[in-house]
Structure 1
């Protein structure tokens, strides 16, 4: 039995040593998603968070001090230009107006008296009864009384203006904002908060930021001799509301900020949207979608590539093994896709999963998916 055991052991060792001379088959490490590349026409959407404002947001502030006597509108109410919003009570103005009116009446009486004196003096001078010097004096007195009348009228007119400030009207058609004060509240021109804000929201501005690189990508493919010509030809943009619904009117990009923000490296952008239904309000948030139209191009997800040193690499199937190939690409606005200029063709099968983990020569089991489905999923 011992001899048999030794013999079996030797045979086993020989068999083991002999096995080392044969190359073991390479094991498959797993299943990964792969797409058959194809040229396509597509619209890709780059999304940017935005804040909304009306074309005019006007703070309503009192020009005089006093107490709120009447509030004639409510928060969220639509108002017309010239519509009365508030009345401010200032009893001092009523008293001042009585005094100013009395001053005007007194000045008018003084002018009438001076005119009468001039009328009486002229015949006496003509008859030589009194000297021309006396006539000159009464004429100067008349001029002084007229000047006092003008000053009294100016003060009265200023008082009327101040009284007019007690009635506060809307300067534009718009929507009333928050009203922080109530009847009886003391207010003046230096009060911290405005009485309210009236927003002209017939058109809504959407403000958002894009990076310097995204700005260059957007305008690079648009024809135009000047930057303004390029802006005018940017396709219409969409707005996704905070509830996830698509706003039913497209908008238009109007301006980019003149300089990039050195702290954030971003441009501020303004797009305008019609708002006839008054659905959008100042202060709302939304997401702006900028479409990019592409024709007869190979599009791949950015995550299907990796940057190695100074090259960008993609991975394709070579038989059942992974093969790395260098590619030249252009970024599509939004940071999710590349347009392939060199390195890949319609015949290639692109590995889109396990990038950064797989190495060249790895055997995988491909799980084929459609490129259109991948692009659609990534665009969400």
Structure 2
């Protein structure tokens, strides 16, 4: 019984407490900053991965076979156009040149003899001392001698070209790449691997790709009757390097590929960047930033959104000041704002902050957002 009486007392106490709570005043609705969204013109920066190449990337290959006698440059060195890079043993080609030159001398001597014979027989035929047949034969021999001279000159020219190929020179100014072949190696024009690569990087090209939808959006952003006209009105672009630093020179998009890649469904564009200091090299990677303007867009501060299970939400306020979470589609970023393409429209009201712990359906007291005060 004692146990029961004690339990009864506890029950009476709880009932009396609950009665007191029931009479307590209701909690007041919180005052939260509310923003009325409207259409604005927004500028977004979209990043695309790029592959960087020199203005000229040349594979240096041998044009004649032979032993690599000398290497005049080191890896990574800067060379000027026409500067010797490699020397192939030229003894066989020098002998071919000397041989061709001797053949030309012999052919020219034969030509002189054939011309003398024609000159000798011509007056004799005119005076009918010898038959016309002998003169025709002499003229035929003269034609053969002329052809032999022309053939010998061609052979000498070919031998001279091959001899010149034994010294490999820089076709453009730029930086030398790796040197996989060493002195003494046997090299050939058929080698699968080049002797080295030479990059002219006073200017570099950054290649990037746009999907079909991005490309259509890109074309509609700028005025012009053709792509060339639109590219001229495209503002300068920025290059973000692999360490997330921004390259100190701005570039210009100057080329659009002629067709889409059937495999990827993307089209390639090219941006040109000055590189007088040589900070960029062929093979660098990074991202290119392209600014695009969006008319009649909805901008929402990022702080006014919440992410739940990979979806972005804003807290919408209805006409009765009740709140609810509304999923939105983010089309891009403009500074600290999200560019919203779907989910809300101009005239809707959203809560800027303080909504994290409020359930859907809760009522708030809207207040105007506070304006930032500039610090002096």
Give yes or no for TM over 0.5. yes
**Match in the other structure for 1:172:** 172
* Deviation of 1:295 (Å): 8.9
Q: Report 1:1-380 matches (<5 A).
A: 2=2, 4-5=5-6, 7-8=8-9, 11=12, 44-292=44-292, 299-300=299-300, 304=305, 314-316=314-316, 322-324=323-325, 331=332, 337-339=338-340, 343=345, 348-350=350-352, 360-361=360-361
* Inter-CA distance 221–113: structure 2 relative to 1 (3 Å threshold): closer
* Inter-CA distance 139–352: structure 2 relative to 1 (3 Å threshold): farther
Query: Are the aligned partners of 2:221 and 2:292 in contact in 1 as well (CA < 8 Å)?
Result: no
SS at structure 2 position matched to 1:162: helix
* Deviation of 1:349 (Å): 2.3
Alpha-carbon distance in 2 for matches of 1:148, 1:47: 67
Deviations 1:333-358 (A, max 9, x none): 99x9314795355964235986xx98
Alpha-carbon distance in 2 for matches of 1:370, 1:99: 94
SS at structure 2 position matched to 1:247: coil
- 170-179 vs 149-158, greater mean Cα deviation: 170-179
Alpha-carbon distance in 1 for matches of 2:173, 2:137: 58
The TM-score normalised by the length of structure 1 is 0.77
SS at structure 2 position matched to 1:97: helix
* Deviation of 1:72 (Å): 1.9
Count of aligned pairs between the two proteins: 361
* Deviation of 1:191 (Å): 0.8
Alpha-carbon distance in 2 for matches of 1:102, 1:38: 92
Return 5+ residue gaps in structure 1 as ranges. Answer: 373-380
* Inter-CA distance 16–181: structure 2 relative to 1 (3 Å threshold): same
Report the RMSD for the aligned CA atoms in angstroms.
4.4
Query: Are the aligned partners of 2:111 and 2:142 in contact in 1 as well (CA < 8 Å)?
Result: yes
Alpha-carbon distance in 1 for matches of 2:354, 2:126: 116
Return 5+ residue gaps in structure 2 as ranges. Answer: none
Query: Are the aligned partners of 2:315 and 2:350 in contact in 1 as well (CA < 8 Å)?
Result: no
- 237-246 vs 313-322, greater mean Cα deviation: 313-322
